[in-house]
Amino acid sequence: MEKFATLRVREGPNDVLLATLDRPEVANAFDTRTALGLSELFERFRAEERYRCVVITGAGDKAFCAGADLKERNSFSDEQWRSQHETFERMFCAVRDCPIPVVAAVNGAAYAGGLELVLHCDFAYASVTAKFALTEVSLGIMPGGGGTQTLPRVVGERRAKELILAARPFSAEEALAWGLVNRLCEPGKVVQEALRVAERVASLAPLAVRQAKHAIRQGLHRDLASAMQLEIEAYNRLVGTEDRREGMRAFNEKRTPKFKGR
């Protein structure tokens, strides 16, 4: 795996990839280089089928990601601001549209675009010390990485309005209670726990995992009848696969299946 300037990428067992935002001196805030690196990495998964799960985290133990680097933006003209934001939009879309599961390991503060990045992942584990907020309205802007759309879908409209319109920070315990994160971990353990579940996901039939993710994500935007039809279409794509046959053979032979993604 090639190197990125502000992003560390490490291959783990079972075709799992760990991507670490590596700007701890600025709370892992993303600049243009980071956004381009994440875009390039995640867009690659649309064409490649080598990897089976991705974990995103931040360097250090203080911050997952503080959002956009406001010091870098301080001297921007309006045109430069909009141009950079288009790069950020590409990054968020690349994570959102990734065909393989994406797990956030929230090791510290996830503010503004950092929280939006978490919301675009499929699910998240967080340190008990993590903190969350969409603070944009306190800066004269508003969430622009999907926060006004993704947060209400997770925590409900009225709670999301309070959090966004009052720029109210909230705790890891609240994030867990509201369904924004799936599990809380002891400090220093969140990446380990996220990698453990990622390796479990990666050990399963990759085509089936991709189709299940597709059905969940796309079905949520449809009425129930058409969403169920979408599920059947995804299901039928798996019937003729080698992995489906291997799964049935392994079950009946009482052994662990060897899935090949075919």
Q: What are the residue numbers of the active site?
A: 68, 113, 116, 136
Other CB atoms within 10 Å distance of the CB of residue 68? 26
- Report the C-alpha gap between 63 and 20 in whole angstroms: 11
Q: Tell how far CA 173 is from the center of its chain.
A: 20
- Report the C-alpha gap between 173 and 233 in whole angstroms: 38
Q: Which long-range contacts (CB under 8 A, 24 or more apart) does 8-13 make?
A: 8/59, 9/41, 12/195, 12/198, 12/199, 13/199
- Neighbouring-strand partners of residue 133: 111
